[in-house]
Amino acid sequence: MNFPDETRLMQALEATWPPVSSDAEAAPGWRLRDGAGGGKRVSAAVSTGSDDVEALAAAMRARGEVPLVQVPGSAAALDAKLAAAGWEVVDPTVLMVGEAEALAKLELGKHVRAVPVGVRLALLNEIWTAGGVGPERRAVMARCQGPHTQIMVRSDDRVTGVAHVAVDGDVAMLHAVEVRSSHRRQGAGRGALAGAARFALDLGAAWVALAVTEANAPARALYEGAGMETVARYHYRQGK
């Protein structure tokens, strides 16, 4: 199957989960991002051609930041140089992709419904907060310039799950999937996938993609069970 490749997925990831700003001048060949507390995905530096890790570290320290870089799976030479300099691996992550048309047809439980919600409801924020998605990460969602929405999942007339989905061309990226602890493994996660896929199709996107840490085995099992496949990987390297 002709899935989007690593480069395309990384582009869609940043387009749909954007930093506040980027600085390409502080360390030539690197792009430093300001995530305003929204997590590593928007705060880690990315290489635009340089492997001068000392210059990167100095620039990030000058900004009052712990040196941190996002390393795509294809950047083996850069990863080796970071490793040799003593930068530690943090949060190995997989990028998974599924066909929107197939995910939209997922069989859901009889009482599970997933609908897009254009207005941020307080109840959805409560679920996100309980799952560790605080106001800084919710601010990232609001910064997205492309089409985006929240998927609200209801089970037996109770709101049990929420996710953020945003479309970048042919790829819809799913972010911040959270399910109430009392309703896990009861179909709410599949509901979020199906709702996101329907939103993707409405906007002409053929693919639904997401990033999930390798350590999150339950989530990976859910996505694999829904027919999604791992297409690419990345991790972070943190300096001292």
Residue 147 has pLDDT above 90, yes or no: yes
- Measure the CA–CA gap between 77 and 27, rounded to whole angstroms: 19
% of the chain exceeding 70 in pLDDT? 100
- Collect all residues with Cβ–Cβ distance below 8 Å to 30 and sequence separation of at least 6: 24, 45, 46, 47, 48, 50, 52, 55, 56, 59, 69
- Measure the CA–CA gap between 119 and 177, rounded to whole angstroms: 17
% of the chain exceeding 90 in pLDDT? 90
Note the pLDDT tens digit of each residue in 196-225: 999 999 999 999 999 999 999 999 999 999
- Predicted pLDDT at 1: 76
Q: Where do we find the tokens 């639904």?
A: 208
- Predicted pLDDT at 14: 97
- Predicted pLDDT at 64: 96
**Average pLDDT for 122-148:** 94
**Average pLDDT for 43-48:** 98
Report the largest interatomic distance among the alpha carbons of the chain, rounded to a whole angstrom. Answer: 56
Residue 61 has pLDDT above 90, yes or no: yes
- Predicted pLDDT at 194: 97
Residue 46 has pLDDT above 80, yes or no: yes
Handedness of CA 47, 52, 53, 58 (dihedral sign): negative
What does DSSP say about strands 171-179 and 207-213: parallel, antiparallel, or unpaired?
parallel
Residue closest to 218 by CA, chosen among 191, 173, 179, 160? 179
Pair of tokens at residue 166: 């945003």
Residue 141 has pLDDT above 90, yes or no: yes
- Predicted pLDDT at 31: 98
Question: CA-CA distances (angstroms) from residue 71 to 31, 37, 76, 213, 219?
Answer: 13, 20, 9, 14, 22
CATH of domain 96-232: 3.40.630.30
Residue 120 has pLDDT above 80, yes or no: no
- Predicted pLDDT at 209: 98
Please report, for the chain, the start and end positions of each structural domain, with discontinuous segments joined by +: 6-95, 96-232
DSSP 28: T
**Average pLDDT for 92-110:** 95
